[in-house]
Chains A and B, each alone.
Chain A
Amino acid sequence: MIRIGTAQVWVHDQDEALDFYTKKLGFEVRSDVTVPELGNFRWLTVSPPGQDDVAITLMAIPGPPVMDEATAAQVRELMAKGFAGTVFLTTDDAKASFEELRGRGVEFTEEPEERPYGIDSGFRDPSGNSFRLTQVRSDFS
C-alpha cells in the first residue's frame, strides 16, 4: 500500500517558517536535523497535532551545487509571487479554526465562505505559499 509520508514546500527562511508553522499555524515539529556533512542541510518537518504520519518538510532553497544560483533565484521569485504551490488543509470546523488561527496572528487572504463543496478560507505563509483551509461538506467527499 502506498501512502503519502512527507511532501515538501520551499520556504524563504527556515527559522521564520518554523516560527509561523508552529506558533501561528499550531503544527508540531516532527523532525529537525542539521547535517554538517551535507553542507548543514536542515531536514525540518512539521504536521498538525494528531496527524503524525504525514508531514510537510520546510525546505530551504539550496545554492550550488544542488541548485545553480539562477535557478535558485527563479524559485525564490516564483515563491514570492505565490506560484510555488498550495497546501490544502481540511478542518471539521472552518469558523472555529479561522478564529483560532487569526487569533494567533495568521493573516487570512480569504475569510471562511460557503462554497458548493463546503466552507473554504485561505491564507499564506510568510514565504508566499498559499494555504486553503476547508471544511468539506460531509456529503461531498
Chain B
Amino acid sequence: MASVPPARHLLRAKDLADARYAEPLTVADLARAAGLSKAHFSREFRRAFGESPHAYLLTRRLERAAAMLRTTDRSVADICIAVGLDSIGSFTASFRRMFGRTPTAYRAAFPPAADRALIPACVLRAYGRPQHRTFREDAVLAS
C-alpha cells in the first residue's frame, strides 16, 4: 500500500479542532492527534494550511462564538466557555481583533436571536395565548 502523505495526519489534527473546539483543547492536543512534536507540528501545520494551529483553533472558536451571538440569547460569558475558552478578557480581546468590535457590539448589530429562531407555530399559539380573565376578576383586582 502506498505510504500515507504526511498532510493526512495534519488533517486529523484539523478535524480534531473542528470537532472538539468546545473542549479545553490545546495545540499540544492537536500535535498529539497528528503524532508529531509540538514545534514540528506547528511548523508543518502552517506549511500545509497557511496558518498556525493556534490561529486555526482560535478562529474556529471565534466563528462559533459569533454564530452563537447572532442566534442565541446566551450571555457573552456563557458563549466564551461554550467555545472552549476560559478567559473572558482574552476572548473579548481576540474577538474584537478578528471582528472589529466587541462581542456585545457585534450582537447588537444583528436582529435579535428570537427573530431568527424557527419556533413552531403550535408553540407560538400555545404559549402566546393570554390568560383568560372575566369582568368579575377585573372588579376583584380593582378593589
State the A residues within 8 Å of B (CB): 12-13, 15-16, 76-77, 79-82, 109-110, 116, 124, 127-128
Contact = CB atoms under 8 A, between A and B. Distances in A.
B18 A12 contact: no
A109 B13 CA distance: 11
A80 B10 CA distance: 8
Given A81-B48, A81-B49, A116-B118, A124 B15 contact: yes
B11 A12 contact: no
Majority SS at the chain A contact face: mixed
- Among B7, B14, B118, the most chain A Cβ lie within 10 Å of the Cβ of B7
Contacts of B15: 82, 109, 124
Interface string B1-45: 110111110110011001100000000000000000000000000
Interface of B: 1-2, 4-8, 10-11, 14-15, 18-19, 48-49, 118
A80 B12 CA distance: 10
Contacts, number: 39
Nearest to B48: A81
Contact of B11 (A13, A80, A116): A80
B19 A77 contact: no
A98 B136 CA distance: 58
A15 B1 contact: yes
Contacts of A116: 118
